[in-house]
Amino acid sequence: MAKSDSNSPVHESSLGSAPDAVASFEDDRAGFIKKLQHTLHLNPSMVPLIVLLLSIAVFGLLLGTRFFSPFALTLILQQVQIVGIIAAAQSLIILTAGIDLSVGATMVLSSVVMGQFTFRYGIPVPISIVCGLLCGMLCGMISGLLVSRVRLPPFIVTLGMWQIVLATNFLYSKNETIRAQDIETQASLLQFFGTKITIGGAVFTYGVVFMVLLALVLAYALKHTAWGRHVYAVGDDKEAAELSGVKTGRIILSVYMLSGLICAFAGWALIGRLGSVSPTAGQLSNIESITAVVIGGISLFGGRGSILGTLYGALIVGVFTLGLRLMGADAQWTYLLIGVLIIGAVAVDQWIRRATV
């Protein structure tokens, strides 16, 4: 690895704890652009937040109360909740400079396990749910072991796991959908995350609340715990992290297992959203989650970015999708604009990376 990078994690973490006065003597750079670049470097989630607020404002101006109503705005939250949760899992993995193509498949298999254990074997619902969650964690563990112990590239490992998990899902479920009405009468706990909270015109579901809480908890853990700092360190420069005593293998394994578990929760939330257990759902979740992560300003090279940025990234996609739909635009325009956003986000990321800290 490049020698010049090898001390950066130590450097960065000491930056956080150092008093401002120490840093200030460097800050004689001139110009608004430089300062902006510097600020964005320290707060990687600022760009997606600004884009999100701007896009809400623009669509609000164009569409008026049809879009700018508590009902429509909270509907966006409901529509992005699944991708939002999955994207949180994806963020963790991408922060370690990995990538997970199997997130959607893991989610669907977990939801199928929860449903089929309940309906095929008559296992009590809470136990089935725990089994589903464990199933997700197991999928993550297999990928994690292959990446950390066998040292295979994450892309290859999860490309394989994606196929394996998806095929297992179809073989095991026989592609049978479990109907919403059966779940409602016999196992309503499976639909827990679909429970609504209505405040005025705004409608929140437990799934939406979970997505937001998850992002906040992960953001806290990543910033303020040793584990979190180690995740960043591993992604930034694995060898340097290892040399400074971080057990990188364990960190990577823990990240994949946690991400598998989060995907399983997404599977549970998916049942709440669809009402039913559908083995064909979530086919594009892996791509959608990577999209949210990239738009959210997390670097695909690892070690930089914030989980709140991912949440904003997912919401930006949701705002564009509903906004353009309400304007009557062809669905293809949404995809086109999302493509522009992805490239724009990475371009901005590259520009910020050039900032001198």
Nearer to other proteins, 37 or 289 (CB): 289
Nearer to other proteins, 41 or 325 (CB): 325
Give the chain's radius of gyration (CA, Å).
Answer: 21
- Minimum CB separation of residue 302 from other proteins in Å reads 24
CA distance 15 to 231: 17
Q: CA neighbours within 13 Å on the CB side: how many for 311? A: 20
Nearer to other proteins, 203 or 342 (CB): 203
Nearer to other proteins, 142 or 345 (CB): 142
Q: What is the DSSP letter of 3?
A: G
CA distance 200 to 239: 53
Nearer to other proteins, 324 or 345 (CB): 324
- Minimum CB separation of residue 127 from other proteins in Å reads 21
Nearer to other proteins, 275 or 346 (CB): 275
Q: Which of 209, 301, 293 is nearest to 259 (CA)?
A: 293
Q: Which of 260, 303, 83 is nearest to 162 (CA)?
A: 260
- Minimum CB separation of residue 107 from other proteins in Å reads 12
- Minimum CB separation of residue 118 from other proteins in Å reads 17
Nearer to other proteins, 38 or 66 (CB): 66
- What is the SS3 assignment for 161? helix
CA distance 276 to 80: 18
Interaction site with other proteins (CB under 8 A): 66, 71-72, 75, 78-79, 138, 142, 145, 149, 164, 170-171, 174-177, 179-181, 194, 196, 203, 273-276, 278-283, 322, 325-326, 330-332
- Residue 47 sits at the vertex; the CA angle it makes with 287 and 339, to the nearest 5 degrees, is 35
Q: What is the DSSP letter of 7?
A: T
- Minimum CB separation of residue 40 from other proteins in Å reads 33
- Minimum CB separation of residue 216 from other proteins in Å reads 25
Q: What is the DSSP letter of 182?
A: H
Rounded to 5 degrees, φ, ψ at 199 are -125, 105
Nearer to other proteins, 313 or 323 (CB): 323
Quick check: 229 and 208 in contact, CB under 8 A? no
CA distance 310 to 90: 9
Q: Computed from CA positions of residues 25, 30, 31, 34, in that sequence, does the dihedral angle turn out positive or negative? A: negative
Token pair of 45 as six digits? 């989630």
- What is the SS3 assignment for 202? strand
CA distance 39 to 33: 10
- Minimum CB separation of residue 310 from other proteins in Å reads 21
Residue 196: enclosing H or E segment and its boundaries?
strand 196-199
Nearer to other proteins, 78 or 259 (CB): 78
- Minimum CB separation of residue 331 from other proteins in Å reads 5
